Structure 1
């Protein structure tokens, strides 16, 4: 009887506050041989469990508007569930989990957790990256917990902070591994660039004890992070850890200045512009570590990027949820793709302009260019186009700060499934846009990195990408940008800051 050759498989675990997934890839075909995911509800103002399950507020305080949390126990239960589902699926296919040669972990950046080092018990719910307490960054969330959470204060020197990557490694190893990687550390705004050390002066200003933060693993493309000691994956090794935006860069193969990745979906828009091997200071964007690379001499080096994370997608969400003009996001997107030429209208939302690259906390929602013929189709176009213009503005801000222009944008996310959106992005930016056919580019990217860490390369099986070159003229782009800029500027000054209105309207 013929002996079946042992397959070389790579596993990738993605941990987010509202979605946990596990996938196993064949390095021969590059395709998933098994996958499972589980979606989780978030705890927000008015949710059924927000009033009773959260420990991270002061005992006498009521749940505050703008708080967004998740219960870590539910996320860990979801991790075990999806891993078990994949293990069972593999066994049915004759592929035991021992065929997995390496594991990668990718995670939603910026969400903060706290737990007790001795007991391993969580001290509070996870404070989500969109929580009002994290409006100024994850470092602000850590500071808030340090100053206001009674369980955190009682834990004292036994308190440990971390993002989902740190907590996942802790749980996978029964508390034996407490560490983070450079991509996640740089996202917290507590790491001193070029890194990889925590910035003691920033921590001191934030009243954060450096000893309560995880050690940052030295940059290396072949680091062994942990050996799993619990569950279905016991005995397997984690060789790659990175935040999802960074894993997306890795999946697209972005490794040089001038390349950018854009993830555009219902959760938000994330732009990562690679700037080179030295960090760039920016007032509009966040400087982060893009990835760790190796040269021909096997030396490791960090590649840096400028990042913008925007909630400009709320323009579409508002048309669907608040105004009920469309039954679903898919209907809105389909209307966008089928609407004919019309008089341009521009829409800037409070959520979009208050986030990068604009950073205007006083911004309010605004719609420009309305005529007697304006219809909901025009609103759909204005809402979706606002995402494309925001991406273009992020590219321009990156070029202004780094002196390096973006020449290629790799797009993923649910909105990238629409050809008209991709073509519009190319037309607005005046650059080539590329879409690779991967269901989750972050999961694929961290799997590729885990394979490379153990000298296993995925075969030459990249799906043929879709390429969109700009069809617009320079004059058209300049006119669009001028009109969009006026719309953004007119959104300033509608919200009170410090109890009073600003007067930036022009």
Structure 2
């Protein structure tokens, strides 16, 4: 049996475990969901033990589904939901509280107070991020303030803090390695992205001792080896790691400056590779580290814009409104109408992300008449998913001062043909879907393969990337301007104090 690379894609609602052969072909994948926890309005938590069990179930499942055996695994790559923060006891390995998920807004007041103190300039200058509860630092602060007995444990050196990637490496290595990669570290608001290291001023600002944070390592290269993992032999190198959006950028083979991808998941995220140049956004976007491929090697950067709710809007229609039975049903239902008939849905169910950054915005369904039906609401939902990304693209091109190349798309919703056509129409440029849309998983495998010498360069990886379908623009420029204007009016109404009487 040929050797394989195992990928662990730890996402917001579930964990996917997949395997790739050394030719770059994805062989099999399994997904295991875990519970979401909403203790208060705007709060989102995960039980870290639920996450770890989903990983172990995925590992068991992949070897039942695939023909490879655990002994065939030559490397493991990890990719993960970013910003989600947790603390665990270094003696027992047990979590000290539930993890605070990236969507959680509980630290809004804390972040607002820092803004009023004038701290946002420092945060943006050092991290490339806005001062927002989305990122990990304020979540660590909340956990440190609200976990019983934590101060004593910190003094005794028994507390480890990390994002999900760090927690998984700790578990996979039986506590031998406390490490993160530069892409995940760049999402915490605690790393200076010019130096690629934790920053004392930021630690002091957020009240997070740097001693509890993991070591920062490159995204490719051996980070540790498996030890005492059920279903896996000891000694497998963990050789690649990146946050999910950076991993998708890598999996889309966007290795050159100006190449961009849009991933459709729980949220949607556009990243553009800016190479070794860090571009500071003036249009409400984020500057983030894309990857570093070897120790001492250069940092590569990206501009990023993310919408917090994308696929989650379809889940809301399914689970709360119950107007569809399955997520895939939305394409058929939306296709029963020619347009949304004036209905607008702003899915600000957890606030608005880029380029607005309004945590107090709330979801809005408007423009309803006696003639509105389920199809119009479904169509308005697909419109919203595409229009959010059009907003981000406009802001991105404003920062770059140039028009971007065709956008590569991936993620589960990229299989929705109607949504992809709407995306091309509202962005006003060609959309390219690859044959392998599980690019987050692919990126983790590629990074791990590079780390153990399966591939020698990104050029080797590029040769395995193939196009499935292109979606060309089918809407006139005038029609696009009209649709975007209606969307902006709805956005204004969803934002606190803006157009509330409209």
Q: TM-score range by the shorter chain?
A: 0.7 to 0.9
**How do 1:236-255 residues align onto structure 2 when only pairs under 5 Å count?**
236-255=236-255
> 2:299, 2:207 → 1: CA distance?
31
Residue 480 of structure 1 corresponds to which residue in structure 2? 483
Q: How far is the alpha carbon of 1:313 from its aligned partner?
A: 4.7
Structure 1 window deviating more from structure 2 (392-401 vs 72-81): it is: 72-81
Which runs of structure 2 are paired with 1:153-172 in the superposition (5 Å)?
153-157=151-155, 158=157, 159-172=159-172
1:123 to 2:96 alignment: yes
Q: What's the CA shift string for 1:392-413, capped at 9, x where partnerless?
A: 1111112222324332222122
Secondary structure of 2:35 counterpart: coil
Question: Who is 2:302 aligned against?
Answer: 304
Give yes or no for contact 1:264–1:415 (8 Å, CA) kept in 2.
yes
Provide the rounded CA distance (Å) in 1 between the counterparts of 2:499 and 2:424.
34
TM-score by length of 1: 0.84
In the alignment, what sits opposite 1:72?
48
SS across alignment from 1:120: coil
- Aligned partner of 1:11 in structure 2 is 6
2:212 aligned partner: 212
Offset of residue 240 of structure 1: 0.4
Shift of 1:82: 2.4
Equivalent residue pairs, number: 466
**Residues 320-368 of structure 1 deviation map (CA, whole Å, 9 limit, x = unaligned):** 4443433443333311134225644332233376222212234344345
For 1:356, the equivalent position in structure 2 comes to 354
Secondary structure of the 2:263 match is strand
Match of 2:472 among 465, 469, 473: 469
Q: What are structure 1's unaligned runs of at least 5 residues?
A: 1-5, 46-63, 495-501
- After superposition, the Cα gap between the structure-2 partners of 1:299 and 1:314, relative to the gap in structure 1 and judged at 3 Å, is closer
Q: Distance in 2 between matches of 1:492 and 1:65?
A: 18
Q: Does 1:40 align with 2:34?
A: yes
SS in 1 for 2:271: strand
Distance 1:504 1:318 in 2: 24
Query: What is the Cα deviation at residue 385 of structure 1?
Result: 0.3
Q: Tell me, in whole angstroms, the C-alpha distance in 2 between the residues paired with 1:205 and 1:146.
A: 14
For 1:406 and 1:201, how far apart are their aligned partners in 2? 36
Show CA shifts across 1:196-221 (max 9, x none): 1112212101111011111211x364
Q: How far did residue 369 of structure 1 move?
A: 4.2
Partner Cα distance (1:249, 1:133) in 2 = 30
Q: Which residue of 1 aligns with 2:279?
A: 280
CA RMSD between the two structures:
2.7
Distance in structure 1 (CA, Å) of the matches to 2:29 and 2:415: 21
Aligned partners of 2:491 and 2:180: how far apart in 1? Answer: 38
In 1, Cα distance between equivalents of 2:271 and 2:4: 29
In structure 2, distance between residues paired with 1:316 and 1:432: 24
Shift in CA distance, 227/268, structure 1 to aligned 2, threshold 3 Å: same
Q: CA deviation at 1:80?
A: 2.5
Distance of aligned partners of 1:121 and 1:348 in 2 relative to their CA distance in 1, 3 Å threshold: closer
2: CA distance between counterparts of 1:68 and 1:74?
14
Go from structure 1 to structure 2 and tell me whether the alpha carbon gap of 1:248 and 1:342 turns closer, same or farther (over 3 Å shift): closer
Question: Please, which moves more after superposition, 141-150 or 315-324?
Answer: 315-324
Aligned residue among 11, 24, 29 for 2:19: 24
Determine helix, strand or coil for the equivalent of 2:409: strand
Please tell me whether Structure 1 or Structure 2 has the larger radius of gyration of its CA atoms: 1
Aligned to 2:113: none
- Confirm whether residue 335 of structure 1 aligns to residue 333 of structure 2: yes
Contact 1:251 1:441 in 2 (8 A): yes
**Structure 1 residue 123 displacement after superposition:** 1.4
Q: Distance in 2 between matches of 1:87 and 1:419?
A: 32
What SS does structure 1 have at the residue aligned with 2:332?
Answer: helix
Distance of 1:330 and 1:470 partners within structure 2:
23
Q: TM-score, normalised by structure 2?
A: 0.85
Give the whole-Å Cα distance in 2 for the aligned partners of 1:249 and 1:86. 24
